[in-house]
Amino acid sequence: MNATMTMHMPSQTFMHSLVETEPAVRCEGIRKSFGTGEAKVDVLRGVDFTAAPGEMTFLVGPSGCGKTTLISVIAGLLDFSDGEVTLFGERWSALSPRDQIVFRRQNLGFVFQQYNLLPALTAAENAAVPLLAAGVNRSKAVRRATELLDQLGLGHRANAYPRTLSGGQQQRVALARALVHEPRLLICDEPTAALDHHTGEAVMDLLANSAVHPERAVIVVTHDNRVFHYADRIAHMNDGAITEVESRASKTFSTVPVAL
Ligand SMILES: Nc1ncnc2c1ncn2[C@@H]1O[C@H](COP(=O)(O)OP(=O)(O)OP(=O)(O)O)[C@@H](O)[C@H]1O
């Protein structure tokens, strides 16, 4: 069995409640506060949100409305005080802390705004990190990461260190790292914020062409209204709640290979 197949198969623990029609992500009445007493800030005030497999769902809204907090809750990086998060039929609150870690490692890919690449590792080694964390042997993991970098048009820089790569190239490595273990949920936090318009469009083309998959849900947090046309669905957030969900039947994006 190869590494990819290993990562693809949900463990028995996580298979029992998987239902075809279940959204990939379902948040119901999520509440989250920071601080206590007078300093308490209610950041999520009963958020209802869903994301479907095969779709790119954008989460948009003014600065400070709670977008990063919400995706951190969905990713299991932050806890919440009320409500329920269900990922691929698994109620988050029903999983033990250990199972949450395993579930996240198997099912989640995350692309950060500032890439968060490890400077001492090459592009291929950076992209291989989720496989290494899952126990895949090093040469197999780096080989798989290199193949993926190649598919993303960066095979020729597989041995380069992050400091020698352009912003768009680093974002590509970050995308490879988020996809290498074939997660069922990909979350991208402001993936174009640090990029110029042309490179941002190229990264979005790459997301639309390589990350969207019938069994994978993609959530993109963005302020960048120049890339809204890539969305299948746009969830508008304001003051800690989803205020409107817009369905975009006629999204447009380039299918021409792009250079970064
Ligand atoms: N760890 C924390 N402690 C206290 N307050 C926090 C913490 N994290 C976020 N907040 C506050 O929660 C609110 C929402 O922050 P969040 O980062 O989720 O907003 P956002 O919509 O992602 O903003 P932006 O678009 O500027 O990134 C803000 O008022 C922020 O100051």
Spatial distance between the Cα atoms of 62 and 97, rounded to a whole number of angstroms: 32
Task: Choose one of 27, 68, 220 to mutate for the ligand 1 pocket test, by most ligand atoms within 8 angstroms of C-beta.
Answer: 68
How many of the other CB atoms lie within 10 Å of CB of 161?
16
246 C-alpha vs ligand 1 centroid, how far in Å? 24
Helix axes 167-179 and 138-151, enclosed angle (nearest 10): 120
pLDDT > 80? residue 11? no
Cα(149)–Cα(127) distance, rounded to whole angstroms?
Answer: 8
pTM: 0.85
Q: Check residue 145 and give its pLDDT.
A: 96
Residue ID of nearest Cα to ligand 1 atom 7: 34
Please give the Cα distance from 134 to 132 (Å, whole number).
Answer: 5
The rounded radius of gyration (Å) of the Cα atoms in the chain is 18
Residues 7, 145: contact at Cβ < 8 Å?
A: no
Q: Is the CB of 18 under 6 A from ligand 1?
A: no
Domains observed in the chain:
24-33+40-119+184-247 (3.40.50.300)
Kindly give the number of the ligand 1 atom that is closest to the alpha carbon of 70. Answer: 18
Q: What's the pLDDT tens digit per position in 144-169?
A: 999 999 888 899 999 999 999 998 89
CA of 48 to the centre of ligand 1 (A): 18
Summarised one tens digit per residue, pLDDT across range 25-34 is 999 999 999 9
Q: Whose CA is nearest to atom 20 of ligand 1?
A: 64
pLDDT band at 260 (very low <50, low <70, confident <90, very high): very low
Say yes or no: CB of residue 133 within 6 Å of ligand 1.
Answer: no
Give 190-211 pLDDT, tens digit per residue.
988 878 888 888 888 888 887 8
Give the residues across from 188 on adjacent strands.
Answer: 111, 220
